[in-house]
Amino acid sequence: MSERRFFAKLARALGVFLAESAGPARDDLWMREALALADEAAARGDVPVGALLVMDGRIIGAGFNTREHAGDPTGHAEVVALREACRALRRWRVDGATLYVTLEPCPMCAGALVNARVARLVYGADDPKAGAARTLYQICDDPRLNHRMAVQGGVLAEACAARLRRFFQEIRARRRAGEGEGAGAGAAEAEAGFKGRSTRRGDG
Ligand code: ZN
């Protein structure tokens, strides 16, 4: 093998290695941003879920759960992020975009991602009570629907799940301390579903 061919081969191998290793590293980076958004939801008394939409290496939409704060059943982080992106792009399609979210999308959000033509979904913790990307339904890559996306779960899963556990623990503590019904009363509904998986490890 000539020296030139050897180096060309080496460069190609290195390129493949870099492409494969850069993906997950970038996913972690964006998921950390989504976690920061989840914290904002918790600060307002909403279940801590954060989401962001990334296209060509930049954030085109970001959101966190506003269900309690806005009194809106569709105020999930994914929908909020999609709405922001679509307003900015002035269109309903986000072809080529990746959605990062700290908790597996529910059926409503998974449906919204399909409708918006999201190219890739990356999520943190599985949701045993409402997960519609892998756990209960596989809406995001169901071959019967007119759009499918790549799905990657379990990114920083433990950190994402820990946020949820802490939030619900604090609600329980406030309840025990006798603080009124307002202390995340609606959020408690989501808790029932989440408690079940809190001990799962090694997927983050
Ligand atoms: Zn949802």
> 124-136: per-residue pLDDT in tens?
999 999 999 999 9
Is 20 a residue whose pLDDT tops 70? Answer: no
The pLDDT score that the predictor gives to residue 26 is 93
Catalytic residue among 68, 78, 84, 191: 78
Is 25 a residue whose pLDDT tops 90? Answer: no
- CA 21 to ligand 1 centroid distance, Å: 30
Cβ count near 199 (within 10 Å): 8
Which residues have CB less than 5 Å away from ligand 1 (the ion)? 76, 106, 108-109
Active site residue 78: yes
The pLDDT score that the predictor gives to residue 32 is 98
Q: Which of 61-75, 147-161, 171-185 has the lowest mean pLDDT?
A: 171-185
Is 193 a residue whose pLDDT tops 90? Answer: no
The pLDDT score that the predictor gives to residue 104 is 98
Average pLDDT rounded to a whole number, residues 150-170: 97
Average pLDDT rounded to a whole number, residues 90-105: 98
